[in-house]
Amino acid sequence: MLAEDRLNRIVDTVNERGSVTAMELMELLDASESTIRRDLTRLAREGRIVKVHGGATAVRRTVVLADQPVGEKHGVHIEEKRAIGRFAATLIGPDDFVYIDAGSTTECLVDAITETRATYVTNSIANAHALLLKGCRVFVPAGELKPITEALVGEQTVLTLSRYRFTIGFFGTNGATPDAGFTTPEIGEAFVKETALKQTLKPCVLCDASKFTTVSPVAFAAFDDAAIITDTMPSGLEDCSNIIVAPA
Rounded mean pLDDT, 130-147: 96
At 156 the pLDDT is: 97
Considering the chain, what percentage of its residues have pLDDT values greater than 90? 69
Pick the CATH number of 3-60 from 3.30.2230.10, 1.10.10.10, 2.40.30.20, 1.10.3090.10: 1.10.10.10
At 77 the pLDDT is: 80
Q: What is the mean pLDDT of the chain?
A: 91
Q: Please determine, for residue 68, whether its predicted confidence score (pLDDT) is greater than 70.
A: no
> How far apart are alpha carbons 106 and 85 in whole angstroms?
7
Q: What is the pLDDT of residues 11-54, one digit of tens each?
A: 889 888 888 899 999 999 999 999 999 999 888 887 788 787 88
* Higher per-residue confidence, 13 vs 64: 13
* 228 strand-pairing partners: 205, 243
> How far apart are alpha carbons 219 and 186 in whole angstroms?
9
Q: Please determine, for residue 60, whether its predicted confidence score (pLDDT) is greater than 80.
A: no
Rounded mean pLDDT, 151-167: 97
The domain limits of the chain are 3-60, 63-245
Domain 3-60 identical in fold to domain 63-245: no
Q: Please determine, for residue 4, whether its predicted confidence score (pLDDT) is greater than 90.
A: no
At 46 the pLDDT is: 79
pLDDT band, very low/low/confident/very high, at 135 (cuts 50, 70, 90): very high
pLDDT band, very low/low/confident/very high, at 74 (cuts 50, 70, 90): low
Q: Please determine, for residue 235, whether its predicted confidence score (pLDDT) is greater than 80.
A: no
Packing angle between helix 3-17 and helix 22-29, nearest 10 degrees?
130
At 69 the pLDDT is: 65
> How far apart are alpha carbons 5 and 1 in whole angstroms?
6
At 71 the pLDDT is: 63
CATH number given to 63-245:
3.40.50.1360
At 18 the pLDDT is: 80
> How far apart are alpha carbons 89 and 50 in whole angstroms?
31
At 240 the pLDDT is: 87
Rounded mean pLDDT, 242-248: 94
pTM (2 decimals)? Answer: 0.79
Q: Please determine, for residue 2, whether its predicted confidence score (pLDDT) is greater than 90.
A: no
